Amino acid sequence: MRVVVAGGGGFLGRPLCETCAEDGHEVVVLTRGLPPGESAHEAGTGVPGVTRLGWAPDGQIGPWAGTLEGTDAIVNLAGESIGSCRWSAARKRALRDSRVLATRSLVAAVLALRDPPAVFVSASGVNYYGCADQSEKTERSAPGSDFLAALCVEWEEEAARARRPDTRVVLLRTGLALERSGGVLPQLALPFRLFVGATIASGRQEVSWIHRRDWVELVRWAIAARDLDGPLNATAPAPVANRAFSRALARALHRPCWLWMPALPLRLALGEMADTLVVGGQRVVPARALELGFYFRYPEIDQAFRAIYET
């Protein structure tokens, strides 16, 4: 099988590409690190292994697009980090453009192919549901109305244009992905390692999370599941309140969790981002994955943290 991954060098994309290559698939990683259309095979990844292909995710088709002919699956993970800095107007534009324009380029390429892929898996996020309330959300729930919810809606609408009679589109709404080597977890764990870990704000806001290994397996399953089309929540079956999440992390690190971080300092430091990413939350469950029989290796937060910190 030939799998093309945009954003294949990131925290989630890298292990996905490595796993697919280890399974003997040909993996092509779209990268801005090479001139559009130029390719380079990664040394040490074997045959077929991993090949890097230069592209320009600017909303247009480029010289790279033709090399997608005959691809079995495209996975779109392109997009700048949501939480790396405060959201100015310019930063919001960058977050939007890095997702929507990259997706537009890929969709245009798919629609131009004579032999299109069987599946187009496109990233989204649980922020699609907004953080106005903590009621349980499934793939059938309505979108929210804040900045990230609106961005996810636009992002998904762009991806959905790739749907053809012979191409299904999976919209992957990912929660907080957990692994000790990257993502947000090292930042969350640091205060606990220093004995100043705390419950945040009310502690009642829900955290919809997933172990990175389960995320990789879920994407591989989505590629293979021929009956799967439309939104798919990439979260563990058991979301938890921030208070329970913090205490589970403290237990895994053998540290206390007796402090409390009020919301006001976070809002002053992070602005709008605080309410959306830290003080707010979403209680999202993977209803479709469970209905279709996907097996979660780490369904509970204590299981996930034990696997992360005790191996």
pLDDT digits (tens, 9 = 90+) for 50-74: 999 999 999 999 999 998 999 999 9
Write the pLDDT tens digit of every residue in 251-261. Answer: 999 999 999 98
Burial 25-53 (b: 16+ CB within 10 A, else e): bbbbbbbeebebeeeeeeeeeeeebbbbb
How much is the pLDDT for 208?
Answer: 95
SS (H, E, C) 214-254: HHHHHHHHHHHCCCCCEEEEECCCCCEEHHHHHHHHHHHHC
Residue 28 and residue 31: Cα distance in Å, rounded? 9
Whether 193 maps to a domain, the answer reads: no
Residue 255, domain member (yes or no): no
How does the average pLDDT of the chain come out, rounded?
93
Q: What is the pLDDT of residue 278?
A: 72
Whether residue 272 is contained in a domain is answered as: no
Q: Inform me whether the pLDDT recorded for 268 exceeds 70.
A: no
Is residue 241 domain-resident? no
The answer to the question of residue 17 being in a domain is yes
Domain contains 230: yes
**Interval 121-137 mean pLDDT:** 91
Tell me the CATH number at 124: 3.40.50.720
pLDDT at 239: 97
Residue 173 lies in a domain: yes
> Is the separation of the CB atoms in 195 and 255 below 8 Å?
yes
User: What pLDDT does residue 311 have?
Assistant: 64
Instruction: Tell me what percent of the residues of the chain surpass a pLDDT of 70.
Output: 97
Query: Domain residues for 218?
Result: 2-178+209-235+285-297
Q: Give the count of domains, the chain.
A: 1
Residue 202 lies inside a defined structural domain of this protein: no
